[in-house]
């Protein structure tokens, strides 16, 4: 629950105060010292407002406040910096904190345009900080005694900021609660999140937030002609699913932009007969990070009631090894009625995406079409863990996605999609091959493969999020999910012209 007030007599026992470095910091500290009835020198000595700085004070002379946490945000903080600061704070202090918190943004001399950013970020950060990673531990000590639903935040604001703060706070909560779901899905072991379970998650989300969901089973997949998806899934005892979701708000007199998203949903990837090494194979439970991102995007779009016609397609399967598994050298069919030579069975994600892209394009004719996938190690080698790879031939689409990513802190970097790379996917015996066989430009040749199945759509983009969907994080001993893509795609969709 989120409440807004200007009545300082309602302050709760625990108060959070965000502070920004700059010329106003001294006056902010002076105002805070007066409010808390504490010596200004005490606060000045401890508070520098640097990033990751947390200062704790006990204002014993104050009639209601027992503890004050001052959180430093550094200089010119971005939305991501605010989210990270409050998420980290809650993860550090969760065991000591009550579920009811006061947050004072009235004393700080913040730029008026920054206040909604600050509000959205701190609400999102606090909620994301409630994520409990030990979901399958039987005797673990709870990291905190409450969850995001029990978190109650009380904002103290300046005059005329009530409405802006409430809107930003509600948005921050909506986004973070969806991201919590995505974290749970991407971190789930593959025996807990199968393609069947993925379909069930989509159905539950659609029922709760009011959008249409259709889950096609293995018989329907064959009937539809999704042969590339079938081929990848034939080595697994767990059958594949093909999920189609559609959100279309009832808006009279307006032509809504039609956006199509496709997410790679490989719930576990052994590599098939081109098997992966064992050292990090357990992390391949995260190979459905693209599917989770687009599922989160349609859920959040429906929550926020954005004026867009959104279609989301998730081909989901396991890539396993048995006697029926796809073999290197095989030639398979696809939904687009094109044949594919299999060079490497570990290049399976692009196969199921090919069917998803062709299906969405043919049946819905979207104005904009974007696929999202944890697709290649090549992209990780190129960009590391700081940005996703962006491939498109449309400069306006590239600018829109990059701008949205910069705004929300989920950054993209554009990589080439030149025709000179087409030779990497040419086959002597089929229409196209799924892997170049070269140890270079792997992310680019994968994107060229997907472009082949986009039918040269004028507004198509491919996002390779292999390096940013799952990675190292503070307070974790193993790699973990990030929920990358949900904010980015939702921000991009919200910015589309009607």
pLDDT in tens, 174-200: 999 999 999 999 999 999 999 999 999
426 is known as an active-site residue: no
Structure tokens given for 134? 């030990």
- Tell whether the model's pLDDT for residue 143 goes beyond 80: no
pLDDT recorded at residue 247: 98
Q: Is the dihedral of CA 157, 159, 163, 164 positive or negative?
A: negative
- Tell whether the model's pLDDT for residue 38 goes beyond 60: yes
- Tell whether the model's pLDDT for residue 260 goes beyond 50: yes
Domains annotated on the chain, with CATH:
2-181 (3.40.220.10), 188-494 (3.40.630.10)
pLDDT recorded at residue 137: 83
Structure tokens given for 335? 């939904």
DSSP string computed for 367-397: SEEEEEE---HHHHHHHTTS-EEEEES-HHH
Of the candidates 276, 338, 414, 479, the residue annotated as catalytic is: 276
Of the candidates 173, 350, 433, 487, the residue annotated as catalytic is: 350
Nearest to 297 by CA among 83, 492, 81: 492
Torsion region of 492: left, alpha or beta (phi above 0 gives left; psi -120 to 50 gives alpha): alpha
In contact, 130 and 94? CB cutoff 8 Å? yes
250 is in an annotated binding site: no
pLDDT recorded at residue 144: 61
Tens digits of per-residue pLDDT, 299-312?
Answer: 999 999 999 999 99
Confidence of residue 140 (pLDDT cuts 50, 70, 90): low
**Which range among 127-136, 280-289, 394-403 shows the weakest confidence by mean pLDDT?**
127-136
350 is known as an active-site residue: yes
Q: DSSP label at 398?
A: H
269 is in an annotated binding site: yes
Confidence of residue 145 (pLDDT cuts 50, 70, 90): low
- Tell whether the model's pLDDT for residue 475 goes beyond 80: no
Tens digits of per-residue pLDDT, 410-437?
Answer: 999 999 999 999 999 999 999 999 999 9
346 is in an annotated binding site: yes
Tell me the three state secondary structure of residue 354: helix
Tell me the three state secondary structure of residue 184: helix
424 is in an annotated binding site: no
Determine what percent of the chain falls in helix, strand and coil, rounding each to the nearest 5.
40, 20, 40
């Amino acid at each position: 629950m989120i409440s807004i007030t200007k009545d300082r007599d309602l302050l709760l026992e625990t108060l959070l105060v965000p502070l920004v470095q700059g010329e106003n910091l001294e006056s902010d500290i002076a105002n805070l010292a007066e409010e808390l009835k504490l010596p200004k020198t005490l606060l000045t000595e401890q508070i520098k407002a640097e990033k990751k700085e947390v200062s704790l004070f006990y204002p014993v002379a104050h009639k209601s406040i027992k503890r004050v946490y001052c959180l430093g945000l550094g200089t010119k903080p971005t939305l991501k910096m605010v989210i990270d600061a409050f998420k980290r704070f809650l993860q550090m202090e969760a065991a000591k904190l009550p579920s009811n918190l006061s947050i004072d943004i009235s004393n700080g001399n913040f730029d008026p345009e920054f206040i909604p950013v600050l509000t959205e970020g701190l609400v999102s950060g606090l909620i994301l900080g409630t994520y409990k990673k030990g979901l399958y531990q039987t005797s673990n000590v709870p990291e905190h005694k409450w969850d995001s639903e029990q978190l109650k935040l009380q904002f103290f604001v300046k005059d005329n900021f009530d409405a802006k703060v409430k809107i930003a706070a509600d948005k921050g909560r909506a986004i973070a609660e969806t991201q919590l779901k995505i974290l749970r899905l991407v971190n789930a072991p593959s025996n807990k999140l199968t393609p069947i379970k993925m379909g069930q998650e989509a159905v539950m989300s659609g029922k709760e937030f009011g959008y249409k969901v259709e889950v096609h089973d293995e018989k329907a997949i064959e009937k539809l002609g999704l042969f590339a998806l079938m081929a990848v899934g034939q080595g697994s005892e767990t059958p594949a699913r093909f999920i189609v979701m559609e959100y279309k708000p009832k808006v009279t007199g307006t032509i809504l932009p039609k956006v199509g998203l496709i997410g790679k949903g490989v719930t576990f990837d052994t590599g098939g007969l081109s098997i992966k090494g064992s050292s990090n194979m357990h992390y391949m439970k995260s190979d459905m990070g693209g599917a989770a991102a687009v599922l989160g995007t349609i859920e959040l779009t429906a929550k926020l009631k954005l004026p867009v016609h959104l279609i989301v397609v998730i081909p989901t399967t396991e890539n396993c090894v048995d006697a029926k598994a796809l073999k290197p050298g095989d030639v398979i069919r696809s939904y687009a009625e094109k044949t594919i030579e299999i060079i490497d069975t570990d290049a399976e994600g692009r196969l199921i995406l090919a069917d998803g892209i062709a299906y969405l394009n043919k049946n819905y004719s979207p104005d904009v079409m974007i696929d999202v996938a944890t697709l290649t190690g090549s992209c990780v080698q190129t960009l590391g863990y700081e940005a996703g790879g962006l491939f498109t031939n449309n400069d306006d689409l590239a600018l829109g996605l990059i701008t949205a990513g910069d705004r929300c802190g989920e950054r993209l970097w554009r990589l080439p999609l030149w025709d000179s790379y087409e030779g990497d996917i040419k086959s002597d015996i089929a229409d196209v091959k799924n892997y170049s066989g070269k140890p270079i430009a792997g992310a680019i040749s994968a994107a060229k493969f997907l472009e082949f199945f986009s039918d040269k759509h004028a507004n198509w983009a491919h996002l390779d999020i292999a390096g940013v969907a799952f990675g190292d994080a503070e307070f974790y001993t193993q790699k973990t999910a990030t929920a990358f893509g949900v904010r980015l795609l939702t921000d991009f969709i919200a910015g589309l012209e009607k």
